[in-house]
Structure 1
Amino acid sequence: MDLLVAGAGPAGLATALHAARAGLDVAVWEQRAGTVDKACGEGLMPGAVAALAALGVHPPGHDLRGIRYVAGAHRADADFRAGPGRGVRRTALHTALREATLAAGVRVEQRTVRRVEQDDDGVVVDGTRTGHLAAADGLHSPIRRALGLHRPHRAQLRHGLRRHYRLAPWSDYVEVHWARDAEVYVTPVADDLVSVAVLTTARGPYDDHLAAFPALQERLAGVSTAGPVRGAGPLRQSASARTAGRVLLVGDAAGYVDALTGEGIALALAQASAAVRAVVSDDLTAYERDWWRITRRYRWLTRALLGATRTPPARASLVPAAQRLPWLFAAAVDALAHPART
């Protein structure tokens, strides 16, 4: 086997698809059975939509016109110039990617990676030999930790909570509602379903966080929900490197700042392509360089926004500033919408 992929989330399945297209013998191991769900905002930027289409993957969802910032009576809109984005339920995205992966002849097995050993010629994973291992095992990657690549953070960290509501979307925008200690991301994901995700440093039940957004809470009052509240976090995760020997970290396992800018899936897809190129050329140092280049804009912009909104006065001034400077807000959204360069 040329490549074993650990993890069947978007990053892992996209890596397997790129590997199959490159003619590699590839398999995917995923410890969870069936469709994999995850708490996320569920909005795909136009770049992510284009990258999925290039893989022949077209998940069903709701087209997104752009991004809208909301804070009380203030709002600012910015349309995507690179074509529409798409709100897609995470389960629908996983199903579409998994079907494409199986159709490409990739073996997907329900197995857990427990032991990784390496030599100059390959990797042995629980007794199975492969040329390379792509660790796409998520935000809290056990493989990243086992390889000694995990870097802990002591700063106050953010968490995410997501719930679906059964109602027709009232907007074709991803609405980002701002309050003192949290943001809420409202994403249409179907003609009769809306995803509402909270990002915050504060701990507490979902409904307590939603109470900080009275207008939104009133709109959702009495609306039936679809499925449980799902959580994720801490969101900030770092790795000292993206490779160790013949192992590559891909997607959230490679490091993550925050979901604030909504680029997670686009970045995962770009990393998947770069990882396979490095495997084909047997030059994993190229992947480390590509990772830094692919994620540079995301890291800079996300850290800048997090820093700029850390204090209550700065948070309160963000949306009025975007309203007063629409050209600047539009430029930032346009930068986010374009595909990450691979």
Structure 2
Amino acid sequence: LPAALAGAGVPVVPRAVGEVEQRPGHVLVDGEPTAYLVAADGLHSPVRRMLGLDRPAEGRKRYGQRVHVEIEPWTSFVEVHWAAGSEAYVTPVADDLVGIAVLTERQAPFEELLAEHPALRERVGRRPLSRTRGAGPLRQRSTRQVDGRVLLVGDAAGYVDALTGEGIAIGLAQARAAVDAVVAGRPERYAAAYPRLGRRHVLLTRALLTSSRAPVVRRRIVPLAARLPRVFTGVVDQLARPA
């Protein structure tokens, strides 16, 4: 990505945005004028908050924690471990490194959450874990995704949950729509495209979250996916394809 930016002649200014002011025909970002501001500044977007676009999220709160473990990956795929109160995701990062992320409603130390997944805990053994990084609450909402000449993209625009792991796909689709709108000088086009791009992902993620909260359903999700691989593959395929 840095090489692509350099090749396109896009300057990178490594600092956080401190102030955003809407003006007729432009936006002032820390006092500097620009035609548009595309804010892709994450789950708890400071720009979203500055502009008063935060919207209270309803329902239960979920949190995510992540560590790295120095161990040779045992699979080239993302591996999901399903327990009564959490999900653990194992991702190959390098030849001698894997990432482990846990999603749950509980606020507890990572080691305690990892213990809910005994097979994974046994595989990791006594290898040291990196510093724990966390995020949450995961559910975030915005009152709107376009405010004048400011466009919210990715997690900054709103977020349901990391359960399905499709945040990057949705974010890239939104970025394309935002660029098209900015180039055309019609930011309202992004506002119109935004609901369509995430509709399928939002519906499926909410449905999975809601159903998985019932213990009897949660226990059957993984066995059912194993018995009906075509159905499971179809759902994953739909999640990976923004409209």
Q: What secondary structure is seen at the aligned counterpart in 2 of 1:118?
A: strand
User: Compared with structure 1, are the counterparts of its residues 169 and 111 closer, same or farther at alpha carbon in structure 2 (3 Å cutoff)?
Assistant: closer
For residue 176 of structure 1, give the secondary structure of its aligned residue in structure 2: strand
Q: Partner residue of 2:86?
A: 182
Query: Which protein, 1 or 2, shows the higher relative CO under an 8 Å CA cutoff with sep ≥ 6?
Result: 1
**Aligned-pair distance for 1:222?**
2.0
Which of 135, 139, 148 is 2:39 aligned to?
Answer: 135
**CA shift for structure 1 position 98:** 2.4
Residue 72 of structure 2 corresponds to 168
2:236 paired with 1:323: no
Displacement, 1:101?
A: 1.2
Name 2:206's counterpart in structure 1.
303
Aligned pairs for 1:82-231 within 5 A? 97-225=1-129, 227-231=130-134
Q: How does 1:18-33 map to 2 (within 5 A)?
A: none
Distance in 2, matches of 1:301 and 1:199, equals: 17
In structure 1, the gaps of 5 or more residues are 1-96
Match of 2:132, SS state, is: strand
Counterpart for residue 156 of structure 2: 253
Distance 1:280 1:104 in 2: 16
Cα contact 2:204–2:239 (8 A) shared by 1: no
Aligned match of 1:271 = 174
Return the alpha-carbon distance in structure 1 between the equivalents of residues 29 and 95 of structure 2: 44
- What's the CA shift for 1:109? 1.0
Amino acid at match of 1:241: R
Q: Which residue is 1:332 aligned to?
A: 235
Look up the SS of the partner of 1:138 in the other structure: coil
| CA distance in structure 1 between the aligned counterparts of 2:209 and 2:22, rounded to whole angstroms | 39
2:72·2:97 contact (CA, 8 Å) conserved in 1? yes
Three-state SS of the structure 2 residue aligned to 1:108 is coil
Structure 1 residue 144: Cα displacement: 0.8
- Kindly provide the CA deviation profile for residues 271-320 of structure 1, in whole angstroms up to 9, marking residues without a partner as x: 11111110111111110121111111110111010011012221111111
The TM-score normalised by the length of structure 2 is 0.95
Deviating 4+ runs (over 3 angstroms): none
Distance 1:154 1:321 in 2: 29
More moved, 287-296 vs 207-216? 287-296
Query: What is the distance in 2 between the residues matched to 1:103 and 1:170?
Result: 36
Measured after TM superposition, the shift of residue 120 of structure 1 is 2.4
> Which amino acid counterpart does residue 187 of structure 1 have in structure 2?
T
d(CA) in 1 for partners of 2:14, 2:53: 25
Cα distance per residue 1:62-91 (max 9 Å; x no partner): xxxxxxxxxxxxxxxxxxxxxxxxxxxxxx
- Residue aligning to 1:280: 183
Superposition deviation, residue 157 in structure 1: 0.9
Deviation at 1:119, TM superposition (A): 2.3
Percent identical pairs in the alignment equals 54
Q: How many angstroms does 1:334 deviate by?
A: 2.2
Cα deviation digits, residues 113-139 of structure 1 (max 9, x gap): 222111221111221011111111111
5+ unaligned residues in a row in structure 2: which ranges? none
* 1:58-97 matches, cutoff 5 A: 97=1
Q: CA deviation at 1:106?
A: 0.9
TM-score by length of 1: 0.68
- How many residue pairs get aligned? The number is 243
In structure 2, relative to structure 1, the CA distance for the partners of 1:112 and 1:334 (3 Å cut) is closer
2:170 touches 2:198 (CA, 8 Å); kept in 1? yes
Separation in structure 1 between the aligned mates of residue 186 and residue 236 of structure 2, nearest angstrom: 34
* Deviation for aligned residue 1:99: 2.9
Q: CA RMSD in A?
A: 1.4
Counterpart secondary structure, 1:218: helix
Alignment match, 1:243: 146
Post-superposition offset of 1:257: 0.4
